[in-house]
Structure 1
Amino acid sequence: MPLIAQENQIIESRVLRAPREIVFRMFTEAEHVSHWWGPRGFRTHTTLMEVRPGGLWTHTMIGPDGTEYPNEVRYEIVDAPEKLVYEHINDPLFRATITFTEKGAQETEILFVMDFLDVRLRNAVAERGAVEGLQDTLARFEEVLSTYTGEEFVLIRELNAPRELVYRSWTEPDRLEKWFGPAGTKLIVKRADIREGGHFVYGMQLPDGNTMWGRWTFRDLTPFSRIVLVTSFVDENEQPIAPPMVKDFPVEMLST
């Protein structure tokens, strides 16, 4: 049975076609959240995301007209991949409980409950569009998840070079500029923060003069042994965008 909201609550649920571990991960990693958090037309910029009890999530939602809405969240419970509980500690004050329930190997039900101090505050927030905003947010989340396939593409090539040199060629911008990208393109390095959790933001200048922008988010950098990164598309201002090429191209790709 659907959960009936109390007078001081806003509740939304949705069944998503993705495994629970993937749903939870895309809900708790900043590079994923930036693609879907907020109502339609909004962008979200995260400055801090510490998904642990007592950790903070500091982010700014940017409306279609450029208005910025600062948000600060403190996590209370992080029970991966089943449950998140956090306090929204700036205006408006509320407590959010998000549960992730398996509905099969490839489906997950997400239940999002917002608890306010009283019905007056709940109604004031609802009048400002919070109900529709939450519905929009979960709809966008579902759209992003729909690009997930779980399929792997494996490419192996043996190189006549020392392992250390190959590793440096992937992690040093001046070396990347000499080879990365299809023939006829030029790599433009905008930002190079080569560390775990850091970002490498680059442009791929095409022969016709147009430039496609991308971003790597480093998950693992084990010197001379292993690189794990997430590739996503951004604009020149580093804001996430849909893939500009093939319609069904993944929004993000995990590479090892």
Structure 2
Amino acid sequence: MPTIPPERAPLSRSEPHRHRQVAESFGSDAERYDRARPSYPQAMVERIAAACPGTDVLDVGCGTGIVARQFAAAGCRVLGVDVDARMADLARQRGLAVEVAAFEAWDPAGREFDAVVAGQTWHWVDPVAGAAKAARTLRPGGLLAVFWNAGQPSPELAESFAEVYRRVMPDSLAARQWTTPAVDGYSALCTRAADGIREVGAFGAPEQWRFDWERAYTRDEWLDQLPTTGGHTRLPPAELEEVLAGIGAAVDSVGGRFTMRYATVAVTATRGDAA
């Protein structure tokens, strides 16, 4: 088996994993995050579990435990790792075991796992150092699975959302994200994850999976969720209130509720046999 390279220095500061201040902002309202953020397709959880040699799962960037609880319900033993002590505290209150550390610096202390998973968090991890740490942590035949939810409302509502952001946050990613298919915005993250896995050389060829599903939101449910997302967690209160008012009016204009079409995209790879 090819030798796993040592963990390297982080990549360019323009890459997402360099923006730790954003990654560490989600715990500012951990209760809201846990309440409002969507979960993941059960079919994906089952497919990951079925592809593993056992039931020991490490959840990277576990946050409040949304992913971890789904795997625990599927019969897995889950350990979470998260950089934010506030998120970890809430996950522990939900009955999960969590250790606080950035994954690249986390010490597995000789422990091995059958799966390393990361829901909506792998872009905060150096793609090569993270894959190398996962390879050291996985048993031979274990699975690395990193995944993201990409949500898309109707074209009309997407344009209304975009108009709000163009008015309030004209230079932001949020002002642009509603003008293209959501799944396209995650293609670069999937490519970066797959490239990091290949560079490590300890895995089989990466695969990409996709699961399509829907979730209905009321106006209040969507506005509850919105402040937990990366483009909003660090906004000044007055600016956030203006965004919420505009988005709320947009949802009201379509009857006060809408259906978000989600595509959950995953990159997976199996750890090779021991040397």
TM-score, structure 2 length as denominator? Answer: 0.28
Structure ID, larger Rg: 1
- Bigger relative contact order, structure 1 or 2, given CA contacts below 8 A and separation 6+? 2
Higher percent of residues as strand = 1
